Amino acid sequence: MKKITLKAIAERAGVSVATVSRALNGRGPMDEATREQILRIAEELGYAPDMAARSLVLRRTENIGFLIHALQSLSPHTFYGEILTAVERELRRHRYHLHFATVEDETLPPLIKENRVDGLILAGCDLPPVLIRSLKERRIPLVLLDNHLLGIDSVFTDNVNGAFQATAHLIRLGHRRVAFIAETLDNLSFQERFEGYRQALEAHGLPFDPELVAEGERGFEGGFVAMNSLLDRARPTAVVAANDPTAASAMRAIRARGLRIPEDIAVVGFDDDPLAVHTDPPLTTMRVFRSKMAVLAVARLLDLIQNPEQPALHIRIETQLIVRQSCGSPLTPS
Amino acid sequence: MKKITLKAIAERAGVSVATVSRALNGRGPMDEATREQILRIAEELGYAPDMAARSLVLRRTENIGFLIHALQSLSPHTFYGEILTAVERELRRHRYHLHFATVEDETLPPLIKENRVDGLILAGCDLPPVLIRSLKERRIPLVLLDNHLLGIDSVFTDNVNGAFQATAHLIRLGHRRVAFIAETLDNLSFQERFEGYRQALEAHGLPFDPELVAEGERGFEGGFVAMNSLLDRARPTAVVAANDPTAASAMRAIRARGLRIPEDIAVVGFDDDPLAVHTDPPLTTMRVFRSKMAVLAVARLLDLIQNPEQPALHIRIETQLIVRQSCGSPLTPS
DNA sequence: GAGTAAAATATTAGCGTAAACGATTTCTCA
DNA sequence: TGAGAAATCGTTTACGCTAATATTTTACTC
């Protein structure tokens, strides 16, 4: 089966390749009859332009790179999986394609230098800023997703305000000793959520007690570790977890000590991960709009590709409190 | 910043572009001194071959397509996320790149006709066989991952034997009324697991009772629906779930009726999804080797690209029983 | 040191496409 | 009808690279 090229169509239609190219791309005035005939033949032969030839001459690939830190791939929550598929869906709608790549350090991934992509979506706040800066210097259009950095376009979740609301929810339910736990604070999102937690305490006139803050370790059981070390030294009546896996993990630590949720300790998570509905009791959490982030990031990136010289835009998306049973419902306070 | 091409290097080194190309690709005999000089200059200038030009002439892209049914992206379990990142890691090791695409129906995804990839990994058994066949007819090297079909290379999990073992585990613990639930049986993997369940019953001399089989619906709450409808008409002492999310969901249905796990009903899942450790009690399940599948599929695909005319290979990977607390431990039988 | 073999490098062609430019035909209107 | 404008289409070039072929340089033999 030989490759179907412009030439093949040209021969069949008895015209030159340029005419075929013009007909297919709709450039310049043309005789409607011949255009239709060419389109018909192209359809018949199942023609599709060779991407290599096309991008060689057009200097663009219609590929977008989706970059994520390799760390995240290990992370078992589906956060970036959902974002990835949402980004792909949106790109497909615009006839773009998605290159998926992970980076482990600060070295430039090969797809950049090799001109494999027209732009980049950098997902997550674990990508080293040094890498981001050096990508920016190469003047590749790029958008940060779920991350932000001065001078670079970004679409991200309002973590500070989200954590504020989560904490305020607990305070409204009457809690006075509210703890904060995270797998790690070596992560911008979690730091911001921590900040939101502190602001909420302050706004409600509650003292900040460092004893009520615990860090665990990276990985799925980070929340378990954090919660245990916290319970070893203090006894909060409520816990704000930096994300849902951490919360779920912490819930296991709480129950392992014979404490009840939410009666003894209320728990609120963050992200509205699918697992939130499966914990026992189902987890109250802050919903994060992954697919909305994806759509906005793609739109921004495509705009940036068309028109590169623009001031950086920072799009912040608010979160939404999803009340389940892990804090006691507002109707039946714990 | 102008693009760094072979020509630029050639001019700097005072040789022709062909020599530079040969030096970089290591083809043909060369003066060691000039080769080293060329390599040095290329390094200095940060040269990387333009992928479009390269693949235009070489007729290959060093891109692999990773295809998945759009349905799966909605599915919140991390199964294919882990596989995806494992595939990407393995491809990167071989200096290949990954194109991520989802399909919603049987139409050929554009990346095929446009020559964007050298080969395909088709992940999951939800991809329409019609589509798979038509891809095969285009003679694109491809490997099925977590799926199998006669005449097409595949790497997949031994679902039948896995479910057999899961069921046998329950029977060994003394259970006689063992149920089977799935989100849907409209899926090869789940059908095979169902088959393994039946075979285990038969092998242990237990009758097959259709009353003890329930299907739910696609989506995260499928297990909840299935378990409820099952409990409405029957009362098993143990349940085999087609996968972990289904099991987790079913556990909620069981507890919602005030029944205890594993004392009243034992539960075993499938996949060893990360969430298995977070359920209460932690879920006994069959471990599936995602990253092993990924590595094998990539190896097979790259081999197939180099040497297309080979008989199809079918690589089946066994599962492993992971005993947690949802069945009662073998040491403390329920 | 001439003749030849071998090694090293240069020249050329071509991959499939789009765009610039040029050539031809058709149309418009005085 | 004829001149110019407009429409239509063909030719050429360029994109950056590799492979095939041609040419030069070097090395070697007697």
Average pLDDT score over chain A: 92
Q: In CATH, which of 3.10.20.590, 3.40.50.2300, 3.40.50.970, 3.30.465.10 is domain B63-157+290-318?
A: 3.40.50.2300
A53 CB inside 7 Å of strand C? yes
Q: What is the distance in angstroms measured between the alpha-carbon CA of B37 and the sugar C1' of D23?
A: 23
pLDDT (tens digit, 9 = 90+) per residue, B232-265?
999 999 999 999 989 998 998 999 899 999 999 9
Say whether B278 and A99 touch across the interface (CB within 8 A). Answer: no
pLDDT at A72: 67
Q: Which residues contact A9 (CB under 8 A, 6 or more apart)?
A: A20, A38, A41, A42, A45, A47
Between A and B, how many residue pairs show a Cβ–Cβ distance under 8 A?
156
Run of H or E including B92: helix B79-93
User: Which position has the higher pLDDT, B97 or A78?
Assistant: B97
**Average confidence (pLDDT) over B302-310:** 95
Judge whether residue A270 has pLDDT over 70. Answer: yes
CA of B279 to C1' of C15 (A): 57
Nearest CA in chain A to B1: A138
pLDDT in tens, B31-64: 888 999 999 999 999 999 999 999 999 999 999 9
Q: What is the pLDDT of residue A183?
A: 92
Which residues of chain B lie closer than 8 angstroms to A52, CB-CB?
A: 51-53, 55-56, 61, 115
- CB of B214 closer than 8 Å to CB of B197: no
Q: What CATH architecture is A63-157+290-319? A: 3-Layer(aba) Sandwich (3.40)
Chain-chain contact of A53 with B56 (C-beta, under 8 angstroms):
yes
Contact: B101, A88; criterion CB under 8 Å: yes
User: Strand C closer than 7 Å to the CB of B18?
Assistant: yes
Residues of B in contact with A245 (CB under 8 A): 278
| Cβ atoms < 10 Å from Cβ of B186 | 11
Q: What is the 3-state secondary structure (H, E, C) of A155-212?
A: EEECHHHHHHHHHHHHHHCCCCCEEEEECCCCCHHHHHHHHHHHHHHHHCCCCCCHHH
Nucleotides of C under 7 A from a protein CB: 7-12, 14-20
List pLDDT tens digits, range B12-38: 999 999 999 999 998 777 888 899 999
Q: How far apart are CA B247 and CA B213, in angstroms?
A: 14
The yes-or-no verdict on residue B135 having pLDDT over 70 is yes
What is the pLDDT at residue B73?
A: 57
| Whether the predicted pLDDT of A125 surpasses 60 | yes
Which chain B residue shows the shortest CA-CA distance from A248? Answer: B278
Q: What is the mean pLDDT of chain B?
A: 92
Does B76 score more than 60 pLDDT?
Answer: no
Q: Tokens standing for B276?
A: 């298995």
Task: Tell me which chain A residues have a C-beta less than 8 angstroms from the C-beta of B114.
Answer: 48-51
Does the domain at residues A159-288 carry the CATH identifier 3.40.50.2300? yes
Residue B330: band (very low, low, confident or very high) from pLDDT cuts 50, 70, 90 = low
Residue B10 CA, nucleotide C2 C1', distance (Å): 36
CA of B300 to C1' of C7 (A): 40
> What is the mean pLDDT of the segment spanning A226-247?
96
Cα distances from B196 to residues B124, B165, B166, B205, B248, in angstroms, run: 19, 8, 9, 14, 20
**A16, closest nucleotide (Cα–C1'):** D10
Positions of strand D less than 7 angstroms from a protein CB: 7-12, 14-20
Q: Is the CB of B34 under 7 A from strand D?
A: no
φ, ψ at A102 (rounded to 5°) = -115, 150
Q: Does the pLDDT value for residue A17 go beyond 60?
A: yes
Residues 14-53 on chain A lying near strand D, CB distance under 7 A: 14-19, 22, 28-32, 34-35, 53
CATH number corresponding to A6-49: 1.10.260.40
Do the first three CATH levels of A63-157+290-319 and A159-288 match, i.e. the same topology? yes
Facing residue for A50 by CB, picked from B115, B248, B255:
B115
The average pLDDT across A97-124 equals 93
Of A88, A114, A279, Cβ closest to residue B49: A114
Shortest-distance nucleotide from A33 CA to C1':
D8
Confidence class of residue A73 from pLDDT cuts 50, 70 and 90? low
Give the residue extent of every domain in chain B.
6-49, 63-157+290-318, 159-288
Q: Are A143 and A121 in contact (CB under 8 A)?
A: yes
CA distance A249 to chain B (A): 6
Mind listing the pLDDT tens digit for each residue in A276-291?
987 889 999 999 999 9
Contact by Cβ (8 Å): B238, B267 = yes
